[in-house]
A and B are shown apart, each in its own frame.
Chain A
Amino acid sequence: MNDIRRRYVIPGDRVAEGNYRPLMNVVKSGNALYATRIGIAETGREGAKVIPLSGVYIPRVNDLVIGKIVDHTSLSWEVDINSCFSAHLPASDVFGRDFSPARDDMSKHLAVGDMITARVALFDRTRDPMLTLQDRDLGKVSQGELLKISATRVPRLIGKRGSMIQTIEQATQTRVLIGQNGVVVVTGRTPEGISMAVRAIRMVEEEAHTANLTQRIRVLLNVPDEPQAAPAANNVEAPKPAEPAADSAERAEEELEVESEK
């Protein structure tokens, strides 16, 4: 891990020269790899990539997304997932195999305007993404404060091993549900806590690429320098907040891609 080289790049910059595998946001030309986005280039043993700092959300299979039902046909719902592609949720995914458009009333389950958490089941750019609710904790979002951030900031908001989001959740007594598409739902007991969490999330979005952000978020949220601050460096797990297990699981998954900072 220590042999990863990081560098700021803009499109067209040479990221690596030689026999590197192109991983993400790089294009091969001759014997070199060039960046295609503004971001932080990382060159390591497994290849070269650029972690982008701007851009819209492009769906990927297995992404957890939060979307809004905008329409439905007799067989599927159309979901706005904050991307240039609108997603489809087949009615049979909710009603089961014996779904009949004549018998089942789709708007009883999900009406236009409802928010859902879903997983991207299929997507290959030739067709619109297809969603599924067949997993734990997927389905309708009944309450919460909704906000949108840039999808490129999602890994930073989660933080390494969920550190950032745990800090925000613990300090504001809220629960923050993050979609890979940049849609965030904040729920909590007090409106003060929610608005504080929203402020913190906005700050993460604006200052995502800067160093020591977790520390500044702590200051914003008046979190005293906990004893965990020191052992955190030794990879000691932060105390578990009261949150559903599913959340942690999905975060663990998301964190695999979080190599942005620290």
Chain B
Amino acid sequence: MTQTRNLIDENGMRTDGRTIDELREVKITVGTIKNADGSAFIEFGKNKIVAAVYGPREVHPKHLAQPDRCVLRCRYHMSPFSTDTRKNPAPSRREVEISKVMREALEPALMLEDYPRAAIDVFVEVLQSDGGSRCAGITAASVALADAGINMRDIVAACAAGKVDEKIVLDINDTEDKEGGADMPVAYMPTLGQVTLMQLDGRLSQEQFTECLDKAIVGCKMVYDIQRQALMQKYFGNETEVKEEQ
């Protein structure tokens, strides 16, 4: 984590030309996979990720079923061609960890008790990665879950913040992740105002920590607006508001 070059220039611009409070361009398309019950494709800067949701469906093997609630299973996977050098397609330690934190980030938003003895499978496939792929994955998975018609308390939006050149910046990219000072991915439920995921890689002072968390939450709210727009577009087209008939 030693910094080798300036990541923020004298004009306050970052390596990819953004200001410190700027999000990368985010684009979400809902319902991209026909065979899945719900799906979404997200482009988060250079990240390209597809999420698919199957279920609620019967649990196999049966012994995994819970009598009082639904089982949520997540799989985060990076395609071999998603990184600069080929990635071994076998699930790595990192992928297993992200699958777990992703499940824990989504679970609070889902009303799993509505589907006892069933399972919901979430598959997140990273086609191209550029730092912050877990946040983008959670964002896409949450939209895919809503598309699948699963009862949810809220949509989960995720965004990272971090420390670069001793400054707290929003939505750090791959370079800033590798060469910067700290990385804090946060998942957040905007309506309920609850954080469902917060990780921190690096060192922050108490003030920096608070600032970083606040900034990440602001980012999550921006991401939420895009999620909302994408879902509205898929289901209601251009008529985004009240439709009155007769």
Contact = CB atoms under 8 A, between A and B. Distances in A.
A5 B147 CA distance: 24
Contacts of B241: 7-8
B246 A38 contact: no
A209 B235 contact: yes
Contacts of A38: 146-147, 149, 231, 235
Interface string A198-232: 00000000000111000000000000000000000
B153 A211 contact: no
A181 to B, nearest CB: 14
A152 B150 CA distance: 12
Interface stretch (A48-56, A135-143, A163-171, A184-192): A48-56
B190 interface: yes
Interface in A1-57: 5-8, 10-14, 25, 27, 29, 34, 36-38, 40, 52-56
Interface in B56-94: 56-58, 67
B122 interface: no
A36 B37 CA distance: 17
A152 B56 CA distance: 15
A11 B155 CA distance: 6
A262 interface: yes
Contacts of B111: 27, 36
Interface residues of B, number: 41
B151 interface: yes
Interface string A52-65: 11111010000000
A54 B246 CA distance: 24
B115 interface: yes
Contacts, number: 98
Given A55-B148, A84-B57, A8 B232 contact: yes
B132 interface: no
B9 interface: no
Contacts of A37: 146, 149, 151-152
Contact of A8 (B67, B150, B235): B235
A53 B147 CA distance: 9
B189 to A, nearest CB: 7
Given A38-B235, A86-B58, A6 B243 contact: yes
A85 B150 contact: no
Interface in B95-122: 109, 111, 115-118
Contact of A11 (B118, B153, B237, B242): B153
Contact of B228 (A10, A14, A52, A125): A10
A93 interface: no
A12 B149 contact: no
Contacts of B239: 8
A126 interface: yes
Interface string A169-195: 000000000000000000000000000
B32 to A, nearest CB: 14
A145 interface: no
B58 A12 contact: no
Contacts of A250: none
B231 A12 contact: no
A255 B232 CA distance: 27
B243 A211 contact: yes
B94 to A, nearest CB: 30
B192 interface: yes
Nearest to A152: B149
Contacts of A125: 116
A29 B189 CA distance: 14
B118 A85 contact: yes
Interface in B31-61: 37-38, 55-58
Given A84-B118, A211-B243, A56 B149 contact: yes
Contacts of A55: 148-150
B192 A12 contact: yes
19 contacts: A8-B239, A8-B240, A8-B243, A10-B228, A11-B152, A11-B154, A34-B153, A36-B151, A37-B151, A38-B146, A38-B149, A54-B147, A54-B235, A55-B149, A58-B115, A85-B117, A86-B58, A126-B67, A209-B236
Given A8-B232, A38-B231, 4 more contacts: A8-B242, A84-B57, A262-B245, A262-B246
